[in-house]
Structure 1
Amino acid sequence: MKSTDREYAVTKTDDQWREELSPAEYQVLRQAGTERPFVGEYTDTKTEGVYACRACGAELFTSDTKFDSHCGWPSFYTPLAGDTVEYIEDNSLGMKRVEVRCANCGSHLGHVFEGEGYDTPTDQRFCINSISLTLRPKP
């Protein structure tokens, strides 16, 4: 994973992350991998609630900002208010993208795209790996 100069509220050694996360979770969250499209647990979920970082539990997105973009990953048009996520320029794979990370622990969540023409209030699509999230259903 790319390093930043940022200090995170949750910091753990690589060995600690490996102990706490499954190999698939570690590969996405800590090594900036991507799960295959259309296989994630939350791709088609309509359950109301809050989506939190699977690595540290920080609340990131709400179900009322989730929309069906037909891209194969959960899509949101905005994160929770405040600095819940951070943005990192990503020039890998021969394209310019913006990586989205949990601002609490630095775990990779996915990418954000703008100007794709979706009918959303922000004209943004936060394309997030299901494996990076935990859904806390609304009571």
Structure 2
Amino acid sequence: MWTATRGASVTDQPTRTVTKSEDEWRQELTPEEFAVLRRAGTERPYTGEYWDTHTTGVYQCRACGAELFRSDTKFDSHCGWPSFYAPLAEDRVRYIHDRTLGMERIEVRCATCDSHLGHVFEGEGYDTPTDQRYCMNSVSMRLVPDGDDDGSAPARG
């Protein structure tokens, strides 16, 4: 049975919930962002902005700005999507059993706004502390390089 590994350090980001109608999300997100974040789509491998990025910083949910992953847990899995071995903290994400496409997977969603981020896999043999691969869509996240965030509202981009 799959169990979540406790993430890295917990920051003092407050717990909050973002609830919007589908029409509000459609107005705020690009069509590609909406398809992935709100309809659980997947971007094509090796096409996303962050699959091969090594910039130091924090990855936020593109829909709500919640901090999800740190770059120090990102690793090269050679799968074509950004891969992390742990979320910033377990309360930043939630998990859903996904039985679509004729397989059993664990979907990862933002705990703040319930947006689809990707899937998590374990037991694949990666040389990481958790042996887990959080396979995320670049379009679901925004990388804020260290020193660039002024703590204001989530940036779009």
Structure 1 Cα separation of the partners of residues 42 and 19 of structure 2: 22
1:84 corresponds to: 92
Aligned to 2:71: 63
Residue 19 of structure 2 corresponds to residue 11 of structure 1: yes
Partner of 1:34: 42
User: Structure 1 CA distance, aligned partners of 2:112 and 2:87?
Assistant: 13
Length, aligned pairs only? 132
Distance, in Å, in 1 between the alignment partners of 2:94 and 2:130 is 17
2:106 alignment partner, SS class: strand
Corresponding position of 2:55: 47
CA distance in 2, matches of 1:81, 1:127: 16
Q: The residue matched to 1:18 in structure 2 has which SS? A: helix
Let me know the Cα RMSD of the aligned residues: 0.8
Letter in 1 for 2:108: V
Partner SS, residue 28 of structure 1:
helix
Q: Cα offset for 1:81?
A: 1.8
Q: Which ranges in structure 1 are unaligned for 5 or more consecutive residues?
A: 1-7
Deviations 1:35-90 (A, max 9, x none): 00000000100000000000000000000000000000000000012400000000
Runs of 4+ in structure 1 over 2 Å off: none
